[in-house]
Amino acid sequence: MDFKDKIAQLCLEKYSNLKKTGKPTEKEWTILSGVVLEDNLNNFKVVSLCTGTKCLSGKELKNTEYCNLGNKLNDSHAEILTRRAFIRYLYHQILIAINEDKSEIFYLKERKIEMKDVNFHFFSSQTPCGDCSIIPKSKIDVSQSPPKKMRKSDKGSFEQEYGQEVEDIHRTGAKCIENGEQDKHGQGVDFHTVGPLRTKPGRGDRTLSLSCSDKMSKWNIMGVQGALLTLLIKPIHFKSIIIGGGCPYSLDSMERGLFKRFDPNTKAPVIKQSLMAFEHSKDGIRLRPCPSSIVWCDVPEKSLEISVNGLKQGATKNKKNTNLLRISRKELFKTFLGVYDQYSNSTEIAQHPKKMKYYQCKQYCVSYQNKWKSKEHIYPLWPAKPLHLKECLSF
């Protein structure tokens, strides 16, 4: 079996083996994403897997007090949930490395956590929303025929030739950020402007969450581990990104969306499309997005959770601040503090993080923050969320 199909098959099979709770009904669709571990013996296994299509609007965030506590997920697109579940898996493996020296991905060397000779591969059943989804339409299958040449007719628009004229482009619901270049909404290929940062669509109101194309481009530069984990481990990058079959796909659009529009010299993952399609993708029958999300990762305790509207399924009004998803900002910070208690070898934190708030603790990862600041020429318009949405209650 081809490598790209192997990665896709592992994720699709893992999904099929999960119970029905949280999966779409016969008229609903969703997106599936996963992270696959490859060890030094070329053994593969899924370590995180999520579904999801929803994102809270800016209005919902302003009117929901517990979003400010780090209890509610702002962005529940499958790709974003999968990364959060993957981070939870990484914390678990760090604890195993510290306490048992039996982690499948980490080992201790002179009291420092090092990565074994392993790789991680990212799968998504659909092209990421945003710039990656602005794909040329032509009379031939662009996913099977590489472009002969790209010609930019003017700034922010394109015409791509695949041996014949491009008729139109696939559209994305993600909107250009307010202080950036805007879509032209013209005819055919002139409808979208390619390149700008975009925010996800959200029930009629603009969201505060950037598109999956934008967020994944940041992972490609900064690593998927985030600032807190950078205090403990070196950055982790996906070796490959595999897109499922049956959806619009263009390698050129993927490369543009993930790195070429920002920094063509960035080391890029291998990007391919599998022939294997996801059974619950949008089609002529499945027209409604599934309201729930499946969140799974390879950990022994509560490996599977269901999320609805950014909260754990079944969370009542009285328990909305206590019965939390393990991948919420508050719970992941709590997990970090627990890991840090057992491994306090970082020289970057001047005081114990329990005395800090979440956002303050992230700023103490100097290497991560300096690297992000050095990329301001790449992401000059990257919007910052209000501080209250980047915080959570301290412990």
Active-site residues, by number, are 79
DSSP labels, 35-73: EEEE-TT--EEEEEEEE-EEE-BHHHHHH-GGGGGT-S-
Cα–Cα dist 224/308, whole Å: 24
| Beta carbons within 10 angstroms of residue 154's beta carbon | 9
Element housing 90 (H / E): helix 78-99
DSSP labels, 244-293: EETS---HHHHHIIIIITT-TTS---EEEEEEEEPTTS--SS--EE-SEE
Report in angstroms the alpha-carbon separations of 335 from 75, 95, 312, 330, 354.
Answer: 20, 10, 17, 9, 12
> Tokens for 19?
């119970």
C-alpha torsion angle, residues 301, 306, 312, 317 (rounded to 10): -130
Q: Which residues pair with 114 in a beta bridge?
A: 107
Around 376, how many Cα atoms within 13 Å sit in the side-chain half-sphere? 6
Do 137 and 170 form a contact (C-beta atoms < 8 A)?
yes
Distance of CA 217 to the CA centre of its chain: 10
> Tokens for 82?
């999968």
